[in-house]
Amino acid sequence: MNLRERQVVIGGIFVLITLIFIGRLIQMQLYSSEWKEYAARLTEETEQLEPARGLMLDRNGQILLNNMAGYDIWFTPRKCRTAGGLDTMAFAEILRMTPAELEREFRRAEAYASYRPSIIRKQIPAEHFARIAGELYRFPGAEARRRTIRTNPTGLASHLVGEYREVDQNDMASNSRYRLGDYKGKSGLELQWDQALHGKRGIRHHIVDIRNDYRAPAQEGLLDTLPTPGQDIQLTLDLDLQAYGENIMANKRGAIVAIEPSTGEVLAMVSAPSYATDLLTGRERGSNYDSLLNHPSKPLFNRTLRATYRPGSIFKMIQGLIALDRGVIRPSSRIYCDRNIIGCHGGHTLDNLEEAIVHSCNPYFHEVMKRMIQDGSSGNIFRDAHNNLGAWSESIRAFGMGTNLGGHFPALRSGTVPDTTDYDRMYGRKRWAYSTIYSISIGEGELLTTPIHMANLAAVLANRGHYVTPHVIQHIGDLGKPEEMNQRFDTGIDPIHFETVIRAMAQVVTAEDGTGSRAQVPGFDVCGKTGTVQNSQGNHSVFIAFAPKNNPQIALSVYVENAGSGGDWAAPIASLMIERYLNGTVEQREKEDRILQATYPFPESPL
Amino acid sequence: MRRTAPIIQRIDWLTVAIVVILMAIGLFNVASATAGADAVDWFDWGSKQGKQFMWVALAMILAGLILVIEGEFFIRTAAIYYFVNLLLLVAVLAVGRTIGGAKSWFSFGSIGIQPSEFAKTGTALMLAWLLSRNNERISNRNNLVKAILIVAIPAGLILLQPDAGTVLVFGGMILVFYREGLSGNVLIAVFCALLIAIATILTGASLFEYPAIGSASAVGILWFILAVLGTFIWSMIPQWVLPRKRKRVRRAVVFSFIAGLVMSAALHTGLEEVLKPHQKDRIHVLFGIDVGNPDADYNIRHAKAAVSSGSWTGKGYLQGPMTAYGFVPEQETDFIFCTIGEEWGFVGTVFTLLLYTLLMLRILHLAERQRSDFTRIFAYAAASVLFMHYLINIGMVLGLAPVIGIPLPFISAGGSSMLGFTLLIFILLRLDAERFTVLR
Ligand SMILES: [Zn+2]
């Protein structure tokens, strides 16, 4: 080859390299999106603008749930490294962590992304932050970001309001709007009304620098949106009554549910023992949760909605009302107290309905239900029971028993009102007669109800035949009460029949030897009924009541577990609650002291 | 064109135009890379782009001076210039300042001078001088050794700094040797040796599950392939080669494959046994091998992302977030091509590549129109130096070549390379302008 021609080889090498470069540029700049996406990940960051979460207020405008200023400490490992590291001991000290805990957070941050910030210390209250804010500059890679901390300053109604905390993997998998470090309602009202409380998040797109600091708006801010604040929710609760109820139920296990009968508005929902809401929203949640979960009294268990008990003697009032309505008895009908059929107590022998309720006569209601179930219409006791039980169950359900009470409490257990199919399944079709199932006639057997069902029953009695679906929502934002909260349920029983039962309930409280005499409230006519739920660890003390007798303002149920008979503990608690609500103060000091000092069933480690 | 025409009419204005456009591209992009998120302050002489402005002005003055000096002067002083350069390279090893791990700077206050940037011109002059003397052809083994020494001595001194990139640039002089008569086989052999070296490093870093032996370095597969290939070619010689040449070809094949295997084995042993782990990691990072440290190669990942994000027409001048917010390291010097890629897009990058290609081809054209051997050889040396900078710098930014920092001619910020390249190109232009008037 002529040496002169070698210029072609050399020029060819130059051109070949340029062609390779252009090919690579076509791939990188025009064709592939891989590196462009990487560039966007490096330089663009979307900032979520959290709306202020809606507050929760009681019926009088008192604050139940509030938002408090707080700070999270974020940490970017690479920033720290390039600045030459930091003094872990000193950093741990100002953050009030152990060096080992801090090291663990550092490792977590590194594993997440070394050039991105991650949270290493959550929810530092404003007053703590004020003390350390001036020190933070000494720790490269660390920065503080404001966040609101949800707080329940009174610590009341924790079971009802529920938990508001950081989202977990499941939340993030099921809903793309959640990102690591976001918070959401996890139970109770915080969960049920999460969307309304949360409002709508705003988004701001930023261009960030190599240190991940925001430098300029991306896309000229055209895609940015402002947050819409969450709506405040006003509850029907009366915080004063709630506080009083939680106080007198201290050191006891049980529940109180109080309802305004005319509206179905729940005034108080006490599940004892209780706990302060903030124990489970703060940064110590983990250890608090474990100790609450493992406590023998099950403080996390919401007894008002989820504890099911047999209704016992209180159920006899429903039996009487249905029987009157069907005409199988009249108020004056007397039935012999035949203790060979079923046991009884007290000195009575031949009670009418009113007396039978006051004395809680078992044979009376055994006979009353027998007349409804085993009416002889088919000439066969099995067929009678099979034909008639369904209608009877329907009548019981009309009082809310065994139903979801209109469905405004997602956590509510419906309880049990046994039906034909239930017994068919238990004993076989037409293999059972009234004699098989008679224990339900006196509120035992398969019947199960919760404290809110029993409070609702008190409201039905107070209203003489109907109830409004129990609910706790008064207003959502500016919208007022949702229409479905006013839904009315009728028992279909003539109000006239209620007068007999209510006379008996008044008698239970006012008679010198009445089982509910401790439920008296000076100056008011209280109507009530005691109940005692059999339990191997000691019977549960139960009482339902409403007051005043005419124009009732409050209907309630009280449960004290393992405390004995209904008249001894539940009745006086009902009395105090009624007095507190109707008078705004309690003057029955002696009664109050006796309850406050009582500790049932046994002293336990404090919560 | 008349022989007596003034010099101004005889210089190659196309080359001058390309150089000026490259300098302008450099100024604008250095300004963008320097300013970051702030507005460009064109008259802040203390900033990097202010200095660059100054260097460009100095380069213009230098170019003017060169153009008025007789070409004969450069030929006569070639040896002096070369030896002064060698002295400076020795001196910088003694009293130089270390920046970025290499002791390659004389520092005068805020200004640093890198003698290696001028040594390229010195070497080109010296090589041209040697090879253009009567009968001093490169095919003469004696002369080949002299020529190699002329290149190897400054390269060796620069390797001591150490500045691997500039050493590679000196390696590019092989193109000059080739043009002057070195066998094409040498070019092919060097290319094959590079290929085997890269394959050794890449396979040496990964494991392979061998039957019967178990897990071991995958470099064994490379050796196996080389051995099989060598045997195959050796066995095919009777079919492919005329009988009278067979003996020579056989010897050549056996020699090349054994040399290849020995080189590969030596390199692999050196990497595994001699180097310390952190040194080995550095070499692995150069070749894009994952060393389990996310920070190790983030420079090059960011560089690729910046170029890629420019798409067709770029984000617009001063609008590139990766340039503005410090994502690309050394972005006004070795990584300046990222700024071009991000802010000017494919249009800008291809325009720049075409300018360089045009410049290099133009220099080849100038070289071949000379009657003077000196000018031709010098021109080839200049083209080779430009080409190596082009190849290594842009190859690195595009992730095709190892991360070796050398400047992009006329565009990267920095006075030494600006003046060094000006010297190289304008001496050539002066010599070219005299091609009709002077006979050498
Ligand atoms: Zn009786």
Q: A548 and A418 share a domain?
A: yes
Contact A190, A164 (CB under 8 A): yes
Closest by CA to A319, choosing from A423, A427, A438, is: A438
Residue in B with minimal Cα distance to A218: B321
Q: What is the CATH number of the domain that holds A185?
A: 3.90.1310.10
Q: Is residue A134 part of a domain?
A: yes
A139 band by pLDDT with thresholds 50, 70 and 90: confident
pLDDT tens-digit series, residues B196-231: 888 888 888 777 777 777 777 888 888 888 888 888
Query: What is the residue whose two structure tokens read 């070499």?
Result: B283
Give the whole-angstrom CA distance, residue A211 versus residue A76.
Answer: 9
Q: What is the pLDDT of residue B296?
A: 62
State the smallest CA–CA distance between residue A451 and chain B in angstroms. 60
Give the whole-angstrom CA distance, residue B427 versus residue B72.
Answer: 11
User: Strands, DSSP E only, in A218-295?
Assistant: 233-235, 254-260, 265-272
Residue A375 reports pLDDT greater than 80:
yes
Q: What is the CATH number of the domain that holds A520?
A: 3.40.710.10
Q: Do residue A28 and residue B324 have CB atoms under 8 angstroms apart?
A: no
Backbone angles phi, psi at A210, to 5 degrees: -60, -25
Residue in A with minimal Cα distance to B324: A209
Give the whole-angstrom CA distance, residue B106 versus residue B113.
Answer: 5
Q: Please tell me whether residue A225 adopts helix, strand or coil conformation.
A: strand
Q: Do residue A7 and residue B367 have CB atoms under 8 angstroms apart?
A: yes
Q: Please tell me whether residue B125 adopts helix, strand or coil conformation.
A: helix
Q: What is the pLDDT of residue B1?
A: 43
Ligand 1 centre distance from Cα of residue A358 (Å): 10
Contact B230, B259 (CB under 8 A): no
Residue A218 reports pLDDT greater than 80:
no
Candidates A1, A17, A20, A206: best to mutate against B (most CBs of B within 10 A) is A17
Q: What is the pLDDT of residue A603?
A: 46
Q: A433 and A516 share a domain?
A: yes
Q: Give the global pTM.
A: 0.65
Q: Provide the token pair at A591.
A: 């009664």
Q: Which residues of chain B have pLDDT under 70?
A: 1-5, 36-40, 42, 134-136, 288, 290-297, 438-440
Give the whole-angstrom CA distance, residue A246 versus residue A224.
Answer: 46
Q: Is residue A274 part of a domain?
A: no
Residues of A in contact with B180 (CB under 8 A): 3
Residues of B in contact with A31 (CB under 8 A): none
Backbone angles phi, psi at A493, to 5 degrees: -100, 135
Q: Do residue A4 and residue B367 have CB atoms under 8 angstroms apart?
A: no
Q: A385 and A509 share a domain?
A: yes
Q: Does A294 touch chain B (CB under 8 A)?
A: no
Give the neighbor-by-neighbor strand order of the sheet with A554-560. A265-272, A254-260, A554-560, A540-547, A527-533
Residue A606 reports pLDDT greater than 50:
no
pLDDT tens-digit series, residues A560-594: 998 888 888 999 999 999 999 999 999 999 999 99
Ligand 1 centre distance from Cα of residue A319 (Å): 15
Query: What is the residue whose two structure tokens read 């190699």?
Result: B148
Query: How far is the CA of B24 from the CAs of B19, B121, B340, B343, in angstroms?
Result: 9, 23, 12, 15
Q: Do residue A42 and residue B327 have CB atoms under 8 angstroms apart?
A: yes
Q: Is residue A595 part of a domain?
A: no
With 0-12 / 13-18 / 19 or more C-beta atoms within 10 angstroms meaning exposed / middle / buried, residue B20 is middle
Q: A437 and A462 share a domain?
A: yes
Q: Does A23 touch chain B (CB under 8 A)?
A: no
Query: What is the residue whose two structure tokens read 């019967």?
Result: B212
Q: Do residue B184 and residue A1 have CB atoms under 8 angstroms apart?
A: yes
State the smallest CA–CA distance between residue A221 and chain B in angstroms. 15
Candidates A1, A26, A29: best to mutate against B (most CBs of B within 10 A) is A29
Q: How far is CA A112 from the centre of its chain?
A: 35
A264 band by pLDDT with thresholds 50, 70 and 90: very high
Query: How far is the CA of A23 from the CAs of A19, A20, B197, B302, B339, in angstroms?
Result: 6, 5, 25, 20, 19
Residue in A with minimal Cα distance to B308: A29
Q: How far is CA B342 from the centre of its chain?
A: 24
Residue A37 has a CB neighbour count (10 Å cut-off) of 13
Q: What is the pLDDT of residue B135?
A: 64
Candidates B194, B325, B393: best to mutate against A (most CBs of A within 10 A) is B325
Contact A432, A480 (CB under 8 A): no
Q: Is residue A14 part of a domain?
A: no
State the smallest CA–CA distance between residue A181 and chain B in angstroms. 25
Ligand 1 centre distance from Cα of residue A421 (Å): 31
Candidates B175, B309, B353: best to mutate against A (most CBs of A within 10 A) is B309
Residue A227 reports pLDDT greater than 80:
yes
Residue A361 reports pLDDT greater than 60:
yes
Q: Do residue A17 and residue B390 have CB atoms under 8 angstroms apart?
A: yes
- In sequence order, the 6+-apart residues with CB closer than 8 A to the CB of A167 are A178, A179, A180, A182, A183, A184
Residue A365 reports pLDDT greater than 60:
yes
Count of residues for chain B?
440
Amino acid residing at A596:
L
Q: A382 and A436 share a domain?
A: yes
State the smallest CA–CA distance between residue A47 and chain B in angstroms. 17
Ligand 1 centre distance from Cα of residue A335 (Å): 9
Q: Is residue A76 part of a domain?
A: yes
Q: Do residue B175 and residue A18 have CB atoms under 8 angstroms apart?
A: no
Q: A114 and A227 share a domain?
A: yes
Q: Do residue A13 and residue B175 have CB atoms under 8 angstroms apart?
A: yes
Q: Do residue B178 and residue A9 have CB atoms under 8 angstroms apart?
A: yes
Backbone angles phi, psi at A252, to 5 degrees: -130, 165
Mean pLDDT on A328-335:
93
Q: Does B115 touch chain A (CB under 8 A)?
A: no
Candidates B174, B179, B308, B319: best to mutate against A (most CBs of A within 10 A) is B308
Q: Do residue B321 and residue A43 have CB atoms under 8 angstroms apart?
A: yes
**Which of B:200-219 have CB within 8 Å of A?**
none
Task: State the distance between the two ends of chain B, measured CA to CA, in whole angstroms.
Answer: 20
Ligand 1 centre distance from Cα of residue A447 (Å): 21
Beta pairing class for A56-57 and A233-235: parallel
Contact A268, A237 (CB under 8 A): yes
Q: Is residue A28 part of a domain?
A: no
Ligand 1 centre distance from Cα of residue A356 (Å): 7
Q: Whole domain around residue A97: which residue ranges?
A: 51-235
Q: Does B182 touch chain A (CB under 8 A)?
A: no
Question: Nearest by CB to A30, which of B37, B312, B394?
Answer: B312
Mean pLDDT on A193-215:
82
In SS3 terms, A304-318 reads as HHHCCECCHHHHHHH
Q: What is the pLDDT of residue B422?
A: 94
Give the whole-angstrom CA distance, residue B275 versus residue B282.
Answer: 10
- Number of structural domains, chain A? 2
Q: Does A16 touch chain B (CB under 8 A)?
A: no
pLDDT: is A554 or A287 the higher one?
A554
Q: Do residue A22 and residue B350 have CB atoms under 8 angstroms apart?
A: yes
Residue in A with minimal Cα distance to B343: A29
Residue in B with minimal Cα distance to A15: B357
Residues of B in contact with A13 (CB under 8 A): 175, 387
Give the whole-angstrom CA distance, residue B246 versus residue B344.
Answer: 56
Q: Does B390 touch chain A (CB under 8 A)?
A: yes
Q: Does B385 touch chain A (CB under 8 A)?
A: no
Candidates A15, A43, A82, A110: best to mutate against B (most CBs of B within 10 A) is A43
Residue in A with minimal Cα distance to B385: A14
Question: Nearest by CB to B308, which of A4, A11, A35?
Answer: A35
Residues of A in contact with B318 (CB under 8 A): none
State the smallest CA–CA distance between residue B309 and chain A in angstroms. 5
Give the whole-angstrom CA distance, residue A262 versus residue A256.
Answer: 19
Q: Is residue A295 part of a domain?
A: no
Q: A193 and A260 share a domain?
A: no
Q: Is residue A554 part of a domain?
A: yes
Residues of A in contact with B400 (CB under 8 A): 20-21, 24
Residue in B with minimal Cα distance to A11: B361
Ligand 1 centre distance from Cα of residue A344 (Å): 5
CA B211-B213-B219 angle, 5° bins = 90
Q: Does B296 touch chain A (CB under 8 A)?
A: no
